[in-house]
Structure 1
Amino acid sequence: MEKYSKMNQFEVFHTEYLRPSRTIETVLVKNEYSSEVFFVYNYEGISFRVFKTHLGLINFFLDKLDSDFHFSSKNELDDFLSEVKLAA
């Protein structure tokens, strides 16, 4: 019998608009075993920065520290969220 891994499910449950084309989305990513929250800074639909913690997001804006992950398309972001390994 082959064992396969199911893709994660994810949903945006809060969106904060910084400007019309710049948002911070709070995303719940879950599978049958665990769940995790990520914060996504969407810069004009051309840059998506993903943070594992709210503090990481704040530090990005205050100190220009880098994000945990960076993608240049919505498809790349969606692929990441659907396949990211969640903390147990």
Structure 2
Amino acid sequence: MKESLTDVIIGEVKYTKSETTFSRGLRELLEYLYFAREADQYLFNNVTQECRISGLLCTDGVATATQSSQSVTHLTTEDLSQLF
């Protein structure tokens, strides 16, 4: 039986508390997600393969009103340290 990839998480890490740098990191992450989802064979040889692609933005403490959206999650270094 051949296994297939079902989930991909693309991450962007910004070691900062700056909202400007956070915004730039989020914009970059959204670009990566676009290319992974839309560009022909950027991520997969078989473009018909079903795979959920989501993004993870890590910062060093930028406060956000929402931690997660449909396809992007924001975690701080404190959040990460609590996971492990």
TM-score for the superposition, normalised by structure 1? 0.28
Greater helix proportion: 2
Larger radius of gyration: 2
Relative contact order, higher structure (CA 8 A, sep 6+): 2
TM-score for the superposition, normalised by structure 2? 0.28
